[in-house]
């Protein structure tokens, strides 16, 4: 089987990492059960931008990529891929199956895979049953593609399942952001002014983690509802222009672009730390920084110290890409079990009931969200209360759920 990884001799280390991660309570048992059924041979050929067959170019998944390759599964993944290598890795996943048939499903993380197929490999589209998308930005792009008539496949927005966005984006970032900053800089966070751009689920988790370490957290926001939430949770809310000169740590978490630009960078204090916890690499204007800094000193992998014309210094983490992946190892496996459980169930839904998914962007039903949450409770020794028949009748909901209407905001 074809593969390209950093060092296949480290596969045993990857096996040990995976054994620890396999305590995730739902995904592994579900897959084990599925593999024992006769449906196994009819499973789709899934091209994935996740770690199984390709990878996000800065993600620290060396061990698991090696173990996957050693198990005979096609994988094209190593840390520090160039943009060209990243694109080539994705291309190689499109036909990397035992019988050399092309993919017939897509599991995407950010939209690169669907964009590549629709732009460069449209011949595969008739044989693809659908795609599932993992990220906030990727889901936004799918909705835009559909509005513009450019989406050619049915898609499921996994990101906005509650057990994804409220868990991966919020609780996952609450742990992995600080993990990345600490591994990269060893800086003490207590007493520092930490600026978090964006108070969505990622921003909420990021801000909460920084405050827990004793940082004085300032939020920037465009949305009045999110800004009001931040203020009522005790955060100062202001503009990047106002806070740039007094922030010690800057974290972008918006999913947009041009959040931290040159006019902000020149105002920052000595050795301000700048990092991105949102998506892609355009929230921080790294191109401006490279063009205008007097020099740059690579302190260690993913940590660069820029000397500005004023003589002050800026520490940029992960080259402006996702700091929790570039400088740490991403989210803990437990919270990723929630995300990937949604992905697996979405893939199964597209594959087994294609008649329910015309071309467009769809959501998983509330029942599946609750199923994912329920499956994780025993791992935390959580015991649910069961509705009585009279209570269910009074509330006008089924005893077994779903317990909230689709519009309910958790």
Q: How far apart are CA 152 and CA 324, in angstroms?
A: 33
* Residue 130 pLDDT class (50, 70, 90 cuts): very high
**Angle in degrees, CA 160, 131, 322, rounded to 5:** 55
Q: What is the side-by-side order of every strand in the sheet holding 154-157?
A: 46-48, 105-108, 131-133, 154-157, 360-362
* Three-state secondary structure string covering the chain: CCEECCCHHHHHHHHHHHHHHCCCCCHHHHHHHHHCCHHHHHCCCEEECCCCCCCCCCCCCHHHHHHHHHCCCCEECCCCCCHHHHHHHHHHHCCCCCCCCCCCEEEECCCHHHHHHHHHCHHHHHHCCCEEECCHHHHHHHHHHHHCCCCCCEEEECCCCHHHHHHHHHHHHHHHHHHHHHHHHCCCCCCCEEEEECCCHHHHHHHHHHHHCCCEEEEECCCHHHHHHHHHCCCEECCHHHHCCCCCEEEECCCCCCCECHHHHCCCCCCEEEEECCCCCCCECHHHHHHHCCEEEEEECCEEEEECCCCCEEEEEHHHCEHHHHCCCCCCHHHHHHHHHHHHHHHHHHHHCHHHCCCEEECCCHHHHHHHHHHHCHHHCCCCCCCCHHHHHHHCCCCCCCCCCCCCCC
Residue 275 bridge partners (DSSP) = 251
363, 365, 366, 371 alpha-carbon torsion, rounded to 10°: -110
| For the chain, percent of residues with pLDDT exceeding 90 | 63
270 marked as part of a ligand binding site: no
| Model confidence pLDDT, tens digit, residues 326-352 | 999 888 888 888 888 899 899 999 999
Measured CA to CA, the distance from residue 142 to residue 156 in angstroms comes to: 9
Percent of the chain past pLDDT 70, that is, above it, reads 84
| CA nearest to 51, candidates 28, 68, 70 | 68
The pLDDT-based confidence of 271 (bands split at 50, 70, 90) is: very high
Question: Binding site annotation covers 200?
Answer: yes
221 is in an annotated binding site: yes
**Partners of residue 298 on adjacent β-strands:** 304
- Average pLDDT of the segment spanning 317-322: 95
List of domains in the chain: 3-160+332-375 (3.40.50.1480), 170-327 (3.40.50.720)
- 214 annotated ligand binder: no
∠ CA 228-230-231 to the nearest 5 degrees?
65
Report yes or no on whether pTM surpasses 0.85: no
Nearest to 315 by CA among 192, 206, 152, 160: 192
Residue-wise pLDDT for 373-382, tens only, equals 998 998 899 9
First-to-final CA distance of the chain:
45
Residue 203 known to bind ligand:
yes
Question: What is the C-alpha to C-alpha distance for residues 208 and 251, in angstroms, rounded to an integer?
Answer: 13
How does the average pLDDT of the chain come out, rounded?
87
Mean pLDDT of 171-179: 96
> Is residue 204 annotated as involved in ligand binding?
yes
pLDDT exceeds cutoff 70 at 372: yes
5-33: per-residue pLDDT in tens?
666 666 676 667 666 666 555 565 655 55
Q: Which residue has the tokens 């905001």?
A: 409
């Amino acid at each position: 089987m074809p593969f390209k990884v950093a060092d296949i001799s480290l596969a045993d280390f990857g096996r040990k990492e995976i054994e620890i991660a396999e305590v995730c309570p739902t995904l592994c048992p579900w897959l084990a059960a599925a593999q024992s059924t006769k449906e196994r041979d009819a499973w789709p050929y899934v091209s994935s931008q996740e770690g199984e067959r390709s990878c996000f170019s800065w993600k620290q998944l060396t061990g698991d990529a090696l173990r996957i390759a050693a198990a005979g599964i096609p994988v094209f993944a190593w840390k520090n891929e160039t943009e060209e290598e990243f694109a080539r890795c994705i291309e190689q996943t499109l036909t990397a199956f035992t019988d050399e048939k092309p993919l017939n499903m897509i599991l995407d993380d950010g939209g690169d895979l669907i964009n590549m197929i629709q732009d460069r490999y449209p011949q595969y589209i008739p044989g693809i049953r659908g795609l599932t998308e993992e990220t906030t930005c990727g889901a936004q792009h799918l909705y835009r593609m559909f509005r513009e008539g450019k989406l050619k496949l049915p898609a499921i927005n996994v990101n906005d399942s509650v057990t994804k966005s409220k868990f991966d984006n919020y609780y996952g970032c609450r742990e992995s952001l600080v993990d990345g900053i600490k591994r990269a800089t060893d800086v003490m966070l207590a007493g520092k002014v930490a600026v978090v751009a964006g108070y969505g689920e990622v921003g909420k988790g990021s801000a909460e983690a920084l405050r827990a370490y004793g940082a004085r957290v300032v939020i920037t926001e465009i949305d009045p509802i999110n800004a009001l939430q931040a203020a009522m949770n005790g955060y100062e809310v202001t503009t990047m222009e106002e806070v740039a000169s007094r922030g010690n740590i800057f974290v972008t978490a918006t999913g947009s672009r041009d959040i931290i630009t040159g006019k902000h960078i020149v105002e920052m204090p000595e050795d301000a730390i700048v990092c991105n916890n949102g998506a892609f690499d355009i929230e921080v204007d790294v191109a401006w920084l490279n063009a205008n800094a007097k020099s740059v000193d690579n302190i260690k992998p993913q940590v660069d110290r820029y000397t500005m014309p004023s003589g002050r210094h800026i520490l940029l983490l992960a080259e402006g890409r996702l700091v929790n992946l570039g400088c740490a190892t991403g989210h803990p496996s437990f919270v990723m079990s929630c995300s990937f459980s949604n992905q697996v169930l979405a893939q199964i839904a597209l594959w087994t009931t294609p008649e329910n998914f015309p071309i467009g962007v769809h959501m998983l039903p509330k029942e599946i969200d609750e199923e994912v949450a329920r499956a994780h409770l025993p791992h935390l020794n959580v015991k649910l209360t069961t509705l009585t028949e009279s209570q269910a009748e009074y509330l006008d909901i089924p005893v077994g759920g779903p317990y909230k209407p689709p519009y309910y905001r958790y």
